[in-house]
């Protein structure tokens, strides 16, 4: 698919943010806690030692996009039960970042979350970060029919639900490959680079329009129009 040219950042009317490792630093232990809970879930389900369960979890993540999708495809698990289990984590180390709150608050247009996690997890994270009041909606993995990004199904469903005009939208992600469907639909894209090598897949491709390791600084350039 030939990608349309990206819109001017100052023409954006809908900002779509990933959640984990995007709205807070990937160096936090939040994702580590979730990963540990996922491994424990796999170990309990498949009756495996922890190390073997971790290997199985990572394989499913790379083959299916998420551990959840792998477990649903290969073992027919209840996705809701999985999400409830893996998101029972401590968010105490997350703290509001004044510059990020300021820049998101002042960006013209509405702000949405598009996450491969659950709605409840997104609500908890946004509350912990002091961002709840700045977001007008969340589209989670359940809304996407448990089809994780970058499967295009969720993108199209989000666009329809929130009446998004892709040519006037921007998507922000820490996983570069997840920006491909957004760019194909005409959105501006921002890749938030992290220390995670697996999140950099596709980061040198034309579907990445901007890259940053300091999201607040980049957004500040466009705040207040």
pLDDT confidence bin for 143, thresholds 50/70/90: very high
CB 138 within 8 A of CB 115: yes
pLDDT score of 22: 96
Report the pLDDT value the prediction gives residue 111, as an integer from 0 to 100. Answer: 98
pTM value > 0.85: yes
DSSP states of 120-179:
HHHHHHHHHHT-GGG--EEE-TTTTTT--TTSHHHHHHHHHHTT--GGGEEEEESSGGGG
Residue 174: per-residue pLDDT = 97
Q: Which domains does the chain have, with CATH numbers?
A: 9-24+95-220 (3.40.50.1000), 30-86 (1.10.150)
* Closest CA relative to residue 87, chosen from 61, 54, 121: 121
Neighbouring C-beta atoms of residue 158, cutoff 10 Å? 23
pLDDT value of position 171: 98
Which of the pair, 65 or 72, is modelled with greater confidence?
72
Q: Convert the pLDDT of each residue in 194-225 to its tens digit.
A: 988 889 999 999 999 999 999 999 999 888 66
Q: Average pLDDT of 148-165?
A: 97
For residue 65, is pLDDT > 90?
Answer: no
């Amino acid at each position: 698919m030939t990608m349309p040219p990206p819109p001017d950042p100052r023409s954006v009317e809908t900002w779509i943010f990933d959640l984990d490792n995007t709205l807070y630093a990937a160096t936090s232990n939040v994702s580590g806690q979730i990963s540990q809970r996922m491994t424990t879930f796999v170990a309990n389900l498949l009756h495996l030692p922890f190390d073997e369960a971790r290997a199985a979890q990572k394989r499913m993540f790379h083959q299916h996009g998420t551990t959840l999708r792998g477990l649903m495809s290969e073992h027919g698990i209840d996705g809701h039960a999985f999400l409830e289990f893996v998101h029972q984590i401590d968010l105490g180390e997350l703290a509001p970042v004044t510059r990020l709150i300021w820049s998101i608050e002042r960006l013209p247009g509405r702000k949405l979350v598009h996450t491969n996690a659950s709605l409840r997890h997104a609500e908890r994270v946004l509350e912990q970060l002091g961002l709840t009041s700045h977001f007008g909606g969340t589209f989670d993995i359940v809304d996407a029919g448990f089809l994780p990004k970058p499967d295009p199904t969720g993108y199209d469903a989000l666009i329809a639900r929130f009446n998004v005009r892709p040519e006037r939208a921007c998507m922000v992600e820490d996983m570069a490959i997840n920006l491909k469907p957004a760019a194909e639909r005409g959105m501006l894209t921002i890749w938030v680079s992290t220390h995670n090598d697996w999140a950099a897949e596709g980061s040198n491709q034309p579907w990445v329009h901007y890259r940053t390791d300091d999201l607040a600084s980049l957004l500040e350039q466009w705040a207040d129009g």
